[in-house]
Structure 1
């Protein structure tokens, strides 16, 4: 029998907050998770999440849809680009990122949110 699951980020299963940001997680019965990250102006991974992760660069791979704001990403090899609303990014581990401008960045992430900003 086929079943369905209809979820809403207004009622997340878990919320993790950190300086200038938060991630809201929805968990599904088949062990998949989807996260919505909201990052405030002034947020930078290497400043606000690195102390939680304990790694020099973000080691979470991401597959995410950019809802709002501008997120600048710098890969370990120095490649840098801006991700903007309507775009989808697939990022391997090994990157830094930060909010550009004065608008919140909101992304929906299908890969990297499960352990994002998870305190050990």
Structure 2
């Protein structure tokens, strides 16, 4: 695997870490929703599920895209041979642009998921 600015900045090992982040965050979101329902907390508190849902979306998107937004922010990449610093300014700019897009997608997915959970609670509970 090779580093490609704005396209790919992590290899298989780092991808697995991002997938675990996503799955763990999804489990946390499900546990939170279950706790809200079981403990009869106010229905609006379901909207706080946006945070673990954002984490789940972020993990899965980073896994799928082979791209870490944190690495882009600090200007490094790791495609399997260890962490390397990005020296080229154009490559760094391309990585940061992709990082902003991925973050926006994760925020949108988390927000839509939280609103959907809240809406479902209105219909079911």
TM-score of the two chains, using structure 1 as the length reference: 0.25
Structure holding more helix per residue: 2
Higher relative contact order (CA 8 A, sep 6+): 2
